[in-house]
Amino acid sequence: MDRIRIRGGRPLNGRIAIGGAKNAALPLMAAGLLTDETLCLRNLPDLADIHTMLQLLSQHGVAVELNGGDPAGGATGRVVRLRADDIHNLTAPYDIVRKMRASVLVLGPLLARFGQATVSLPGGCAIGTRPVDLHIKGLARLGAEIDLDDGYIRARAPKGLTGAVIRFPLVSVGATENLLMAATLARGETVLENAAREPEIGDLAACLNAMGARITGIGTDMLRVTGVDRLHGADHGVLPDRIETATYAMAAAMTGGSVELTGADMGLMEAAVGVLSEAGVSLAASEHGLTVTRNGAGLSGVDVTTQPYPGFPTDLQAQVMTLMTVADGAAMITETIFENRFMHVPELARMGADIQVKGPVAMVRGVAGLSGAPVMATDLRASVSLILAGLAAEGETTVNRVYHLDRGYADLVSKLAGCGAEIERIGD
Ligand code: EPZ
């Protein structure tokens, strides 16, 4: 298994190109199932999860054409053309779904367009049990008959779906996306109340409308959808990855130095910008995106609580905790979204961090510095938090099981090395 070796203590200076958002690209690709025409997606990030989704769509029968850089210039991502005009398999198998939970996002589109779908239950993952009961209950509200047996969701809607009011008891990004896609082809009107408001959902809704859907309330917690008979093709650019952006902003903050994050959109990450600014990091919109600078002054501890958007994202919790391990004073980090998202804590402790965990709260007390050590990656965002720690630590850090990283961070080693980090990937 590959690992990454870092010799820490070098400031980061230079430019990092931010890619398209993984968590926008995945539902956008699933939306390709809603039409028999071509859906063209640009600025697609080159990530393991994207390839898994392409593998899943191909086994349904979607024609996939993936080529290099965006010929239209602009974003540096890749271009994929999807055409679901010959779907011959309505089952999403366990061996693919278990690799990537977002596979469950084919359920709504398959059911809405073909009246049937069989999707493996995704099962839990390192950060939590990750149920999909809200997806299932929502589709049942739209008239689907759903059975769960031998680990599969078997959904049928032989007469099609019928619009309804769906009120989510808690905010769910995936359930909002699945139901939004299904509702575009349901008869009549659907209202999604207490819908998630993450920018990736706005990006999906904009693409669906470009495909002929009729969605209003985009960006709010109430989405209204008037169903249509069919959707047509579209050409859509994936929005920049706010989590990748903030991750590299924190890398610059931890090491000192100044980094321009090109292609970033500061407007997508106000909560993260607020916390970083309060901690003493300066962030300014630049001609090509966003410039992050920590000019020598120390970092101050800031309390953080993760919340659904527009609150502080759970996908940045491990990273901001790492930042706080070397800040002056203390920081209370509260994780409200997932029940087991502190697995980076024991690894950071091995590097000298002072963190006390009590239930959903981690109390971080800043230390003068971290020491390099061999550490273990456990999930995508915990892995990158260990990279951040290694960049700032004295001495050498080796991060094992970096396949977790490949799911969400394209070209991480070259992006950081390009800004002066002493970092390399070592294959077995
Ligand atoms: C999406 O996961 C993201 N993944 C996650 O990013 C992100 O952490 C999460 O949203 C929260 O922002 C993608 O977009 C592919 P949820 P999702 O449904 O949709 C509970 C990363 O690192 N819940 O918003 O699975 C659930 O257990 C990944 O990029 C139910 O109880 O998250 C959790 O406690 C990690 N029943 C809470 O809701 C359901 O049916 C929020 O989950 C669905 C969810």
CA distance 396 to 4: 10
CA distance 130 to 358: 21
Decide: 27 in ligand 1 pocket, CB within 6 A.
no
8, 104, 363 from 94: Cα distances, Å: 40, 11, 38
Q: Residue 427 Cα, ligand 1 centroid: separation in angstroms? A: 31
Decide: 381 in ligand 1 pocket, CB within 6 A.
yes
Q: Which residues are catalytic?
A: 125
End-to-end CA distance of the chain: 6
Tell me the per-residue pLDDT of 233-268, one tens digit each, with 9 for 90 and over: 999 999 999 999 999 999 999 999 999 999 999 999
CA distance 358 to 392: 26
**Among the atoms of ligand 1, which is closest to the Cα of residue 177?**
19
Question: What is the CB neighbour count within 10 angstroms for residue 257?
Answer: 21
Q: Cα dihedral angle (282, 17, 201, 212), rounded to 10 degrees?
A: 140
pLDDT at 129: 75
pTM of the model: 0.96
Reference 387, options 404, 362, 366; nearest CA is 404
**Among the atoms of ligand 1, which is closest to the Cα of residue 408?**
29
**Among the atoms of ligand 1, which is closest to the Cα of residue 337?**
34
**Phi, then psi, of 21 in degrees rounded to 5:** -75, 125
Separation of CA 84 from chain center:
25
pLDDT at 156: 98
Minimal-distance CA residue to ligand 1 atom 13 = 23
Minimal-distance CA residue to ligand 1 atom 26 = 130
Q: Please list the pLDDT of the chain residue by residue as tens digits (428 residues).
A: 889 999 999 999 999 999 999 999 999 999 999 999 999 999 999 999 999 999 999 999 999 999 866 555 445 579 999 999 999 999 999 999 999 999 999 999 999 999 999 999 987 677 777 789 999 999 999 999 999 999 999 999 999 999 999 999 999 999 999 999 999 999 999 999 999 999 999 999 999 999 999 999 999 999 999 999 999 999 999 999 999 999 999 999 999 999 999 999 999 999 999 999 999 999 999 989 999 999 667 899 999 999 999 999 999 999 999 999 999 999 999 999 998 899 999 999 999 999 999 999 999 999 999 999 999 988 899 999 999 999 999 999 999 998 999 999 999 999 999 999 999 999 87
Report whether 47 contacts 384 (CB < 8 A): no
CA distance 108 to 90: 12
Tell me the per-residue pLDDT of 19-75, one tens digit each, with 9 for 90 and over: 999 999 999 999 999 999 999 999 999 999 999 999 999 999 999 999 866 555 445
Q: What is the DSSP letter of 379?
A: S
Decide: 133 in ligand 1 pocket, CB within 6 A.
yes
Q: Residue 394 Cα, ligand 1 centroid: separation in angstroms? A: 35
pLDDT at 285: 94
Total length of the chain: 428
The strand order across the sheet containing 145-149 reads: 91-92, 116-120, 152-156, 145-149
- DSSP per-residue codes, 281-347: -EEEEETTEEEEEE-SPPPB---EEB-STTSB-GGGHHHHHHHHTTSBSEEEEE--S-TT--THHHH
Minimal-distance CA residue to ligand 1 atom 22 = 315
pLDDT at 75: 53
pLDDT at 298: 87
pLDDT at 130: 79
Reference 47, options 418, 412, 391; nearest CA is 412
Tell me the per-residue pLDDT of 181-201, one tens digit each, with 9 for 90 and over: 999 999 999 999 999 999 999
pLDDT at 128: 79
CA distance 249 to 260: 9
Q: Residue 175 Cα, ligand 1 centroid: separation in angstroms? A: 8
- Specify the amino acid at residue 132: V
What does the mean pLDDT of the chain come to? Answer: 95
